[in-house]
Each structure stands twice: as C-alpha cells, then as structure tokens.
C-alpha cells in the first residue's frame, strides 16, 4: 500500500547524527523544510517538497503536524493488582521506602502478579499496551521484575513474547529479576543472586525470552558489586545492559553503567558526575524519568546542566509501573521534564524518538528518514511545541504503524 502525506503543516523528522542519536551538545531544530512523505511497503520511501506521486491513499495534512512514532524505552507494564491506596499515602507524605518496609511497594505487586494466571496477565497487559499505542507509542520496552521466582518471571516474559506477536509495534523485552530481594530469600540474598546468575539468566538466554537485562542498583536493594556481578553474567549470555541507577541516592549505579557500557542508564538523580564523560564516549543513553520523581516527590534532579556541557544524550520515559509512576503519557513526562529540569522543546523531541530508539537497538525507528520504518503520527496541532505546552492533550489523530493506519476500533 502506498500512502502519500501531503501539505504537511509542520514536519518533525528528528533526524539523528551519524552516531545514531542526538546528544545535548548537538541539538538542532527537529523541523524539516519538506512537506510531504511517500510511504510504501511499510517504509518511508521518500520525503520531499510538494511531492506529487501516485498513491492508493492521499492524506491532506494541512491541519496536522507530523512526527515520528514515539519510542518508550522504560516500562513495567506486565503486572497485576493495583497500588492506588499507596499512591494516596505517598501524596499525603508517607515515603516510598516506608511503604515498601510495611509490605507495600514492589513486593505487593509481586504477590498479585504471582497469583494471576497467564491468560489474565496477558489480557490486562494487552489493554495497557493499546493505551500506549493510542498515544502514539510505536516502539516500547517492557520489563519483568514482578515475579522474582522462576515461574512468574517466565510468565511475565512469555506475556511480553506473546504481545510481540499480537501487536505490530516493536517491543523489546528486559529481564529484571533483580528488582527486589524476594521475601522467601530475605536472609539469603546471595542465594537469590546465585539463582539469578545460574538458573534464570541461562534459561532466559537459551529460550530467547529477553533482549536486555536490568538491575535496581540502589542502596537497600542491589549494591554496586551485586549489580555488576548480575549484569556481567547477563552480558556473558548475550543480553545487553540497561539499569535503574541512583534513583534515591548515589549507589554506584552510574559507575556500573560506565564499566559495563550500558545501552541505557535510567533515573540518574544522584550519579557520580565523574562518570559522565565515559558514559558519553560509550554511547550510553541517560534515560530520565521525570514523572517518577514528581510522584515520589524527589526534590533533587539529574545534573542536566553538566550533561549538556559534557554532551550526553538523553531519553525521556514514563517508567510506567503500578507504584512509582502509574502514567501512560510520554508527552506529559516531557512536560514535567521541562517544568522540573528545564529541558527544551527540541531536547524533548529527540528524547522521545531517536535517542530511545538507539538505546533499544532500533536504528530503523524514531525518525522520519527515507528507508526507515513508516511509524508516523499526525497531530491536530499548529506547532510541535504544543505537544508539551498543552499538557494532557496527548493523543494523535492518526497513527501509522509500519505503513498502515491503525484502526483503533478493531484493536
Ligand atoms: O522504576 N525503581 C524501581 N522500580 C520501579 C518502581 C516499581 C514499583 O514501585 O513497582 C521504578 O520506579
Ligand atoms: Fe523502572
């Protein structure tokens, strides 16, 4: 099927540099002078000015801005059970750590995810994924980590594998067995780590159940040494590294990310600033999660000014999960990134398109460039700044996924 998008009011191409991403010291306008796109066989065939080519479908885009499909690179959307009560407690001043100590937090989601059956887990995850797609997310990363035991982690990873089959979206899967120490290993943490290294990782790799491995590297959860150890084992088995690092305090996470050349280092509220240069040189994307900081009332922020001067590359993500960030809106994450960290409109565009695509090894996604997948969004807006300026209005009018217009009624 050939589709021609013509008379585009404003075209955001979000073109990467030769590196495959755009770092904070190389930010340029993401807007193109062209106004038409020809799509053929799922790909962007041509981008040009006033293209007048035959096509089965022609869309007049004079009232639309056009952007690449958004790329969401950090979610925990396969889980069961709600933690809405904790949300209120936190809003009223109880801390995330105190809630976790009294049996809430990740452990609560582990309980409910262990007890749900595969079919129900698949169905609820499917519904969540549809919401993301409706908001223009055309590629997404999903983590396990609410099972911790073999059976439930595999159940989560199998749900992700099934989602890959059901949806045309690009989905990457991450094993996060080191998200917490499970209750049954409370006084035997080393045994749990050995179980991850010797049983889980080999099984997951053999059965191709994950693309990445992740660890919650944080004082009180996994130490720097433990994180390094677990992630190294993952690398040995062909998994690539992303990690939850230094979210609540400096815990050695940025150093682990540096030493293991992670694809992405996430949260990053309290990194060691000395690691920034190496992270840049390694092409590690720093994934900021401004919604989580807002919901957890974390007052400190990632060292954005320093990252700009070093020239690191950033992504923005929702961190969608039932605890610290129950929000589906990547655009809202961008808005909060602007309000709380001072990120600019242009920085935000790259942070939700080509940079997360790079961190997920999706170099054929995230920008409107000839030859790439035709994942394209049409928004009824006048200017791309409005994507972040009018927060809450985050739904594209049309989503094109691999060259096909998504019919949401049939989803
Ligand atoms: O990214 N930081 C660790 N993990 C999640 C929170 C998960 C949860 O609260 O259930 C996060 O914020
Ligand atoms: Fe997370």
CATH number of the domain where residue 32 is located = 2.30.40.10
Query: Is 240 found in the same domain as 109?
Result: yes
Cα of 54 to ligand 1 centre, how many Å? 49
Q: Are residues 190 and 332 in the same domain?
A: yes
Atom of ligand 1 nearest to the CA of 324: 9
Q: What is the pLDDT of residue 334?
A: 98
Please check the confidence at residue 97 and state whether its pLDDT lies above 90: no
Report how far ligand 2's centroid is from the alpha carbon of 61 (Å): 37
Give yes or no: residues 36 and 140 share one domain.
no
**Does 322 sit in the ligand 1 pocket, CB within 6 Å?**
yes
Q: Is 100 in the pocket of ligand 1 (CB under 6 A)?
A: no
Does ligand 1 come within 6 angstroms of the Cβ of 296? no
- Verify that 372 and 349 share a domain, yes or no: no
Distances (CA, A) of 272 to 224, 257, 269, 275: 13, 11, 10, 6
Q: Is 334 in the pocket of ligand 1 (CB under 6 A)?
A: no
Give the pLDDT score at 157: 98
Q: What residues contact 272, with CB distance under 8 A and at least 6 apart?
A: 250, 254, 255
Ligand 1 atom nearest 244 alpha carbon? 2
Say how many C-beta atoms besides its own lie within 10 A of residue 195's C-beta: 18
Q: Are residues 31 and 142 in the same domain?
A: no
Q: How many domains does the chain have?
A: 2
Q: What is the pLDDT of residue 264?
A: 98
CATH at 248: 3.20.20.140
Do 331 and 224 have their domain in common? yes
- Indicate if 322 and 377 belong to the same structural domain: no
Give the nearest ligand 1 atom to 74 CA.
1
Q: Which atom of ligand 1 is nearest to the CA of 325?
A: 12
Task: Determine the Cα–Cα distance for residues 381 and 13; give it in Å rounded to an integer.
Answer: 16
pLDDT 10s digits, 6-44? 999 999 999 999 999 999 999 999 999 999 999 999 999
Residue 383 CA to ligand 1 center (angstroms) comes to 34
pLDDT of 101 > 90? The answer is: no
CA dihedral angle for residue 293, residue 295, residue 297, residue 298, rounded to 10 degrees: -20
Residues 154, 24 within the same domain = no
User: Is the pLDDT at 175 greater than 90, yes or no?
Assistant: yes
The overall average pLDDT reported for the chain is 97
Residue 144 Cβ < 6 Å to ligand 1:
no
Please tell me whether the overall predicted TM-score, pTM, comes out greater than 0.85 for this model: yes
Does the pLDDT value for residue 411 go beyond 90?
Answer: no
351 and 373 housed in the same domain: no
Structure tokens at 102: 């009294």
Measured in Å, residue 321 CA sits from the centre of ligand 1 at: 7
- Name the band, by pLDDT with cuts 50, 70 and 90, for residue 73: very high
Q: What is the pLDDT of residue 103?
A: 87
Q: Given CA atoms 303, 307, 308, 310 in this order, what sign does their dihedral have?
A: positive
Q: Are residues 187 and 273 in the same domain?
A: yes
Residue 135 has pLDDT above 90, yes or no: yes
Q: Are residues 92 and 38 in the same domain?
A: no
**Residue % of the chain over a pLDDT of 70:** 100
Q: Which domain holds residue 36?
A: 2-68+367-410
Residues 332 and 386 in one domain: no
């Amino acid at each position: 099927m050939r589709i021609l998008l013509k008379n585009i009011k404003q075209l955001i191409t979000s073109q990467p540099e030769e590196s495959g991403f755009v770092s904070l010291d190389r930010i340029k306008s993401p807007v193109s002078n062209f106004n038409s796109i020809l799509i053929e066989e799922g790909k962007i065939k041509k981008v040009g000015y006033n293209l007048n080519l035959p096509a089965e479908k022609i869309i007049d885009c004079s009232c639309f801005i056009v952007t690449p499909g958004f790329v969401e690179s950090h979610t925990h959307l396969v889980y069961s059970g709600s933690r809405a009560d904790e949300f209120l407690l936190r809003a009223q001043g109880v801390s995330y750590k105190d809630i976790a100590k009294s049996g809430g937090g990740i452990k609560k989601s582990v309980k409910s995810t262990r007890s749900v059956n595969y079919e129900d887990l698949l169905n609820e995850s499917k519904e969540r994924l549809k919401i993301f797609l409706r908001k223009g997310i055309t590629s997404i990363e999903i983590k396990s980590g609410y099972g911790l035991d073999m059976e439930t982690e595999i159940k989560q990873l199998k749900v992700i594998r099934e989602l890959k089959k059901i949806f045309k979206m690009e989905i990457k899967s991450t094993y996060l067995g080191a998200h917490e120490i499970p209750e049954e290993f409370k006084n035997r943490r080393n045994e749990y780590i050995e179980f991850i290294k010797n049983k889980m990782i080999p099984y997951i790799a053999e059965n191709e159940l994950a693309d990445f491995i992740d660890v919650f590297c944080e004082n009180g959860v996994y130490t720097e040494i433990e994180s390094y150890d677990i992630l190294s084992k993952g690398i040995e088995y062909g998994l690539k590294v992303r990690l939850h690092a230094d979210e609540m305090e400096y815990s050695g996470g940025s150093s682990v990310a540096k030493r293991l050349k992670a694809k992405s280092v996430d949260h990053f509220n309290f990194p060691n600033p000395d690691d920034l240069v190496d992270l840049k040189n390694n092409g590690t994307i720093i994934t900021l999660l401004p919604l989580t900081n807002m919901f957890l009332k974390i007052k400190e922020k990632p060292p954005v000014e320093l990252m700009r001067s070093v020239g690191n590359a950033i992504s923005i993500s929702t961190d969608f999960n039932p605890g610290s960030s129950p929000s589906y809106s990547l655009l809202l994450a961008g808005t909060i990134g602007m309000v709380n960290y001072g990120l600019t409109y242009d920085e935000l565009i790259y942070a939700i398109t080509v940079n997360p695509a790079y961190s997920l090894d999706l170099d054929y996604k995230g920008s409107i460039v000839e030859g790439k997948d035709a994942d394209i969004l049409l928004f009824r807006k006048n200017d791309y700044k409005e994507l972040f300026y009018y927060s809450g209005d985050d739904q594209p009018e049309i989503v094109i996924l691999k060259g096909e217009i998504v019919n949401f009624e049939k989803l």
